[in-house]
Structures are given as structure tokens and as C-alpha cells.
Amino acid sequence: MTAKERIAELLSKYSYPMSVIEDVIKRTSDYYLSHTPADDNDPYLWQQVRYLENFKKFVLGVE
């Protein structure tokens, strides 16, 4: 699974606040606009995955 796929999975599976969703979408959109060709497994995208996973665990309380 790529970072891009994992981000999509997390956003579709869990109820993140709109501010978190907008932030991640903005960051990933900016990444894809500035990197040609873009790598769906770039460390920056995995950083966004970690952010979502940590938010899910520590704020939403879901393991």
C-alpha cells in the first residue's frame, strides 16, 4: 500500500474533524503540485499518514 492509498483509507474510515481533513488535503495537494513526477511513497506523504494515525490514536481514541 502506498502512502497515498493509506491516506485515502484513513480519511474514508475514520471521522476526522474537517480542519484535519482540509489540512491533509491541502498539504498533499501542494506536494503533488510541486513534485513532477510525484512519488506516492514520498517520505512527506508518509509523514501525513503518521499525523492521521497519531490523531486517530491520541485524539479520537481509536487503536
Specify if 51 maps to a domain: yes
Which three three-digit cell numbers place residue 16?
A: 476526522
How many structural domains is the chain composed of? 1
Specify if 1 maps to a domain: no
Specify if 8 maps to a domain: no
Specify if 4 maps to a domain: no
Asked whether the whole model's pTM tops 0.85, one would answer yes
Q: Is the pLDDT of residue 12 over 90?
A: yes
pLDDT category, 13, cuts 50, 70, 90? Answer: very high
Domain span holding position 42: 14-58
Classify burial at 32, counting beta carbons within 10 Å of its beta carbon; exposed 0-12, middle 13-18, buried 19 or more: middle
Specify if 39 maps to a domain: yes
Q: Over the stretch 20-48, which tens digit does the pLDDT of each residue have?
A: 999 999 999 999 999 889 999 999 999 99
Specify if 63 maps to a domain: no
Specify if 9 maps to a domain: no
Specify if 47 maps to a domain: yes
Tell me the three-class secondary structure of the chain, residue by residue.
Answer: CCHHHHHHHHHHHCCCCHHHHHHHHHHHHHHHHHCCCCCCCCHHHHHHHHHHHHHHHHCCCCC
